[in-house]
């Protein structure tokens, strides 16, 4: 990627792509599932639930945070993450809209 060409696309396309990228690793799918299973916030049990090292899980959590899909209250040693349901629902409907504009085609 000798030059970042992403800025040559529309904001909508960039946003949709950025959110899809946040979901583009099975570990992050698994983290979201894990957070959804515990309806209360979770801390480091995520690490035990995943086949990855602590630092790697922390990286994936950071990606999900940056994308806005989860929230985290970093209170000292015991940080606590949870789903950002409003962002998740917004993303879900944005994706739904996108798929709807695609799905009604008759082609080939």
Residues at the interface with a copy of itself (CB under 8 A): 5-6, 8-10, 13-14, 16-18, 20-21, 23-30, 32-33, 35-36, 39-41, 51-52, 71, 73, 80, 82-83, 85, 88-89, 91-92, 95-96, 98-108
Stretch that binds DNA, among 30-38, 54-62, 87-95, 100-108 (CB under 7 A): 54-62
Q: Are 60 and 27 in contact (CB under 8 A)?
A: yes
What are the b/e assignments for 32-47, b being 16+ CB within 10 Å?
Answer: bebbeeeeeebeeebe
Q: Are 35 and 42 in contact (CB under 8 A)?
A: yes
Give the footprint of DNA on this chain (CB under 7 A). 1-6, 21, 24-25, 27, 43-44, 47, 52-56, 58-63, 72, 74-79
């Amino acid at each position: 990627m000798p030059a970042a060409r992403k800025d040559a696309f529309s904001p909508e396309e960039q946003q949709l792509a950025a959110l899809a990228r946040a979901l583009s690793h099975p570990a992050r799918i698994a983290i979201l599932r894990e957070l959804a299973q515990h309806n209360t916030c979770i801390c480091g049990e995520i690490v035990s639930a995943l086949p990855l090292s602590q630092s790697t899980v922390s990286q994936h959590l950071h990606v999900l945070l940056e994308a806005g899909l989860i929230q985290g209250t970093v209170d000292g040693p015991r940080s606590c993450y949870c789903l950002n349901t409003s962002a998740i629902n917004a993303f879900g409907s944005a994706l739904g809209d996108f798929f709807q504009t695609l799905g009604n085609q008759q082609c080939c």
